[in-house]
């Protein structure tokens, strides 16, 4: 491919040279990107999970429809949906109950008027640590 320049005195042909430097730059940048991203796409690890009892993790259909209620009694003891529970076991038991609820992690919180304030706050913190989101505080209408 020769280009003739009109009005030129000599009959030399000018051959345009293609500049491949930008092409090489782009190819090298893409190579670097693929080299850094490719190892992260294939990361996998194998875990051997311990066997559990199915009845522990799954609640009955009646339990799934009932709301989860955390109650602090006036002596500071806790109840989870009507059954007494120790503070140390509350987070684990609540996490298990909420896992069986299929996405609904709402926990209703009720504290007796005579319950220690610190016990109520501690119970709310334990409920949040157990996966309660949102934590809804229930109140009673004053008796007139």
| Domain parsing of the chain, residue ranges | 63-137
CA distance 131 to 120: 17
- Identify whether the C-beta of residue 108 lies closer than 8 Å to the C-beta of residue 69: yes
CA distance 70 to 83: 10
**Does pLDDT of 8 surpass 90?**
no
Q: State the residue for tokens 């194998």.
A: 46
CA distance 75 to 114: 8
Highest mean pLDDT among 5-19, 42-56, 113-127: 113-127
Average pLDDT over residues 108-128: 90
pTM for the full predicted model: 0.54
For residue 78, CA distances in Å to 61, 118, 137, 142 come to 24, 13, 15, 23
Strand-pairing partners, residue 137, are: 109
In words, the CATH class of domain 63-137 is alpha beta
40 vs 55, more confident: 40
4 vs 95, more confident: 95
**Does pLDDT of 55 surpass 50?**
no
Strand-pairing partners, residue 111, are: 72
**Does pLDDT of 1 surpass 60?**
no
**Does pLDDT of 73 surpass 50?**
yes
């Amino acid at each position: 491919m020769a280009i003739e320049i009109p009005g030129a005195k000599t009959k030399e042909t000018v051959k345009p040279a293609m500049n491949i430097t930008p092409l090489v730059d782009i190819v090298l940048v893409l190579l670097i990107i693929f080299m850094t991203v490719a190892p992260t796409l294939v990361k996998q690890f194998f875990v051997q999970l311990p066997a559990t009892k199915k009845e522990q993790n799954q609640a009955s259909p009646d339990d799934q429809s009932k709301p989860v209620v955390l109650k602090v009694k006036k002596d500071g003891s806790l109840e989870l949906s009507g059954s007494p529970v120790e503070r140390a076991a509350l987070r684990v038991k609540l996490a298990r109950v909420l896992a069986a609820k299929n996405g609904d992690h709402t926990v209703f919180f009720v504290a007796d008027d005579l319950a220690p304030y610190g016990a109520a706050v501690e119970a709310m913190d334990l409920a949040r640590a157990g996966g309660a989101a949102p934590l809804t505080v229930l109140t009673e209408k004053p008796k007139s």
